[in-house]
Each structure stands twice: as structure tokens, then as C-alpha cells.
Amino acid sequence: MSKKETFEAEAMIHVDSLYRTALRMTKNEGDAEDLVQETLMKAYRFWDKFEEGSNCRAWLFKIMTNIFINNYRAKSRAPQVVDLQDVDDDFLFGQLSALGPSDNPEQHFFAKVFDDDVKGAIEELPEDFRLVVVLSFLEGFSYQEIADIAGLQIGTVKSRLHRGRKLLQKALWDYAVKNGFIKETAR
């Protein structure tokens, strides 16, 4: 097989998944398409550097993450301060449980929230948290793979994922309350 044929068979099959992550990271279609194109052009140029049999998908995500961090991330890079002091680990679970055991509030909550609302809540996450949440939840990468892709310690991946979950749950709860899906009860 020629270089282009192997590339098509092994790398191009991941375009949909790369595009999904690119959409969540850049928050718009134009930038996401450019990011994916740049990623694959770079991957093609370095295709002979890719070790056959190793994880092609993770390799592509690593290239894309680097391009994103260098060229696309928000211009102002002030440290991302996230205040989670008043958010408990079981924030959403606690809120929903408090609504009462009878009418199955979790099911009600999950049924009410739309796809776009979840996507929006993910996009509202600060970039550092968003990246690990997307790689873990949507793309199903392991902690070790995420650490390799994002160039982080595995402990950092765990803590960002933990805090990312909390932020996401808080955001979805606030959203549901704001739209009247759920009546907030003092807890």
C-alpha cells in the first residue's frame, strides 16, 4: 500500500471523532474544521515517524491538542481560577435526592436536558478542564492516554477530571433550575 492508502485506512477513519472534540474545544465549526485539517496535514507529513501498531488515534489527538494549545486557545491566558469551594463532590446527586425519592428525579432531570445544553455546558468549562472531560467522557481515552495526549501528570488528569465533573454537574443543575425543569429546594 502507498503512503496515502495506509494513511487513509489508519488515520482518516478518526476524522469524525477528531472533529467532535475540535468542535467542543474551539466552539465553532470553522475553527474546528481548520483545526482538524491542520492536524491531518501535519500527521500526513510526519506519517513515517508514526510507529506502526501503536495507538494511531491517541497520536492524532496528541497532534491536535498541541496545535490547539499553540494556535487556538483563548488569547488571554490568565490562570484559570475556578471556585469550587461551595460545591460538594455529590452536589448534583444531593440536589436531586433532596427532591424526594418518589418521582425518580434523576430520570426526570436526565430526560429534560437537551443535547445542545450538555454540549453548551461542556463548552462553558474552562479549557484545561474541558479538554480532559472531552477526552475521557466523549472519546473514552484512559487516564494514561489523556496524560500522554495533553502532556500532563496522571495525578493532574485525575484531579482535573474530578473538578471538571463537579463544574459540569453544577452548570447543568443551574441550567435546569433556570429553565424551570426543576424547582430548587433548599438543601
Can you give the binding site for another protein, defined by CB under 8 A? 4, 7-8, 12, 15-16, 19-20, 23-24, 29, 33, 36-37, 40-41, 44-45, 89-90, 92-93, 96-97, 106, 110, 113-115, 117-119, 122, 136-138, 142-143, 158, 161-162, 165, 168-169
Q: How far is the CB of 80 from another protein (least distance, A)?
A: 21
**What cell was used for 26?**
474551539
Spatial contact of 122 and 130, defined as CB atoms under 8 Å apart: yes
Q: How far is the CB of 125 from another protein (least distance, A)?
A: 11
Q: How far is the CB of 16 from another protein (least distance, A)?
A: 5
CA angle 73–68–114, rounded 5-degree value: 75
Q: How far is the CB of 143 from another protein (least distance, A)?
A: 5
CA distance 162 to 124: 16
Which CB sits closer to another protein, 65 or 136?
136
Spatial contact of 119 and 175, defined as CB atoms under 8 Å apart: no
CA distance 94 to 88: 9
Q: How far is the CB of 76 from another protein (least distance, A)?
A: 26
Instruction: Name the amino acid, one letter, at 74.
Output: A
Instruction: Name the amino acid, one letter, at 82.
Output: V
Spatial contact of 35 and 64, defined as CB atoms under 8 Å apart: yes
